[in-house]
Amino acid sequence: MVRVRVLVVEDEPAIAELIAIHLRHAGFEAVLAASAEQAQAALDAVLPDLVLLDWMLPGATGVELTRRWRQAPRSRELPILLLTARAEEKDKIAGLDAGADDYLIKPFSPGELLARIRAVLRRRAPMASDTVIEMAGLRLDPSTRRVHHGTTECRLGPTEFKLLHYLMTHPEHVHSRPQLLDRVWGDHVFIEERTVDVHIKRLREALQPVDCAQWIETVRGMGYRITHKGAP
Ligand code: CA
């Protein structure tokens, strides 16, 4: 399993460090940013799996950043958890209205922080969780990295596994090649778009023995999707 990368945007060094320690202890990768500008730079460099975003920051508020990131195609689906000392109802509503996924009021316990992070990841980024995914008899287990159809195991390479994992967590959606590169390969890696086609072909070959190859559809001029509708 690839480690979940959490961007911690917090201008108070003691709090940022403490959060980072808890995150790393729980197996997450923590990247720190101390201002709106640093946060934007970190996000432009590598898209994280989740952002912990302080409300009051030098440069911009967490709410402003949330709004900005929700408008950019690249960060539109980025899971965002706002951290704040503001406990008022109207502030909470402003944060959620801006597009934050959840809201933590300081001071919070490490246990609560981790539980909220896991809940947001389950909701927004199913690929970052170890939940077993099943689709019409095809079963993918992220913790064992195995794929079965009935009792037959499909042998997949690591990239084909990630590709199938992503497609199965977003069934019926059409994904363009750039989107798949972004989500499956990681957007900080420069790879040509036709690489996607190569791995789609390998994935179909791996699914052929269990008769699921035709689930991976090419949508002309758009990209790929997984569907079992219309399958015999
Ligand atoms: Ca602050």
Does 24 share its domain with 78? yes
Last residue of a domain, one of 128, 159, 189: 128
CA of residue 44 to ligand 1 center, whole Å: 21
How many A from CA of 84 to the centre of ligand 1? 8
Is residue 106 domain-shared with residue 150, that is, in the same domain? no
Quote the mean pLDDT of the chain. 90
- Does residue 185 belong to any structural domain of this protein? yes
For ligand 1, the distance from its centroid to the CA atom of residue 25, given in whole angstroms, is: 23
149 and 115 in a common domain: no
| 81 Cα: distance to centroid of ligand 1 (angstroms) | 14
Within this chain, do residues 140 and 109 fall inside the same structural domain, yes or no?
Answer: no
The answer to whether 155 and 206 are in contact (CB under 8 A) is yes
Closest C-alpha to 102, from 84, 88, 126: 84
At 232, is the pLDDT very low, low, confident or very high (cuts 50, 70, 90)? Answer: very low
- Give me ligand 1 centre to Cα 88, in Å: 17
Q: Is residue 212 part of a domain?
A: yes
Confidence (pLDDT) at 94: 85
Alpha-carbon distance 16 to 7, whole Å?
Answer: 10
Q: Identify whether 144 is part of a domain.
A: yes
Q: Is residue 231 part of a domain?
A: no
- Strand partners of residue 217: 225
SS3 label, residue 86: coil
Q: Measured in angstroms, how far is the CA atom of residue 56 from the centroid of ligand 1?
A: 4
Where residue 145 falls (left for φ over 0; alpha for ψ -120 to 50; beta otherwise) is left
Domain-terminating residue out of 73, 108, 128: 128
Domain of 85, in residue numbers? 5-128
CA of 153 to the centre of ligand 1 (A): 50
- Percent of the chain past pLDDT 70, that is, above it, reads 96
Residue 184, pLDDT score: 86
Q: What spacing in Å lies between the alpha carbon of 14 and ligand 1's midpoint?
A: 11
Predicted local confidence at residue 187, as pLDDT? 58
* Among 128, 143, 173, residue at a domain's last position: 128
In 73-196, the DSSP E strands lie at: 80-84, 102-105, 133-135, 138-141, 146-149, 152-154
Q: For residue 35, how far is its CA from the centre of ligand 1 (angstroms)?
A: 9
pLDDT tens sequence across 7-37? 999 999 999 999 999 999 999 999 999 999 9
Spatial distance between the Cα atoms of 83 and 52, rounded to a whole number of angstroms: 7
Q: Is residue 232 part of a domain?
A: no
pLDDT at 76: 86
* Structure token pair of residue 59: 């440069």
Evaluate whether residue 214 is within a structural domain. Answer: yes
Give the CATH number, domain containing residue 186.
Answer: 1.10.10.10
Shared domain check, 149 and 112? no
145 shares a domain with 71: no
| Domain shared by 101 and 168, yes or no | no
- Residue 120 shares a structural domain with residue 158: no
The token pair at 87 is: 């406990």
Joined together, the tokens standing for residue 56 give 């009051």
Q: Strand pairing of 138-141 and 146-149?
A: antiparallel
Give residue 8 CA to ligand 1 midpoint distance, Å. 12
| Same-domain status, 206 and 219 | yes
Residue 1: per-residue pLDDT: 46
pLDDT of amino acid 230: 55
Residue 130 confidence (pLDDT) above 90: no
Q: Specify whether 85 is located in the same domain as 156.
A: no
For position 76, which CATH number holds?
3.40.50.2300
Q: Which pLDDT belongs to residue 2?
A: 57
Cα(126) to centroid(ligand 1), Å: 30
**99-189-79 Cα angle (round to 5):** 15
Q: Which two structure tokens, joined as six digits, stand for 124?
A: 């927004």
Please indicate, yes or no, if residue 15 is contained in any of the structural domains.
yes
User: Is 121 in the same domain as 138?
Assistant: no
Q: Output the CA 2–ligand 1 centroid distance in Å.
A: 30
Q: What's the start-to-end Cα distance of the chain, in Å?
A: 33
* 3-state SS assignment for residue 103: strand
Question: Residue 32, SS3?
Answer: strand
> What does the block give as tokens for 194?
């036709």
d(CA 43, CA 7): 8
Q: How far is the CA of 34 from the centre of ligand 1 (A)?
A: 9
My answer on whether 111 and 146 are in the same domain is no
pLDDT digits (tens, 9 = 90+) for 141-195: 988 999 999 999 999 999 999 999 999 998 999 999 988 887 788 655 577 889 9
Ligand 1: centre distance to CA 50 (Å): 18
How many structural domains does the chain have?
Answer: 2
- pLDDT of the residue at 220: 94
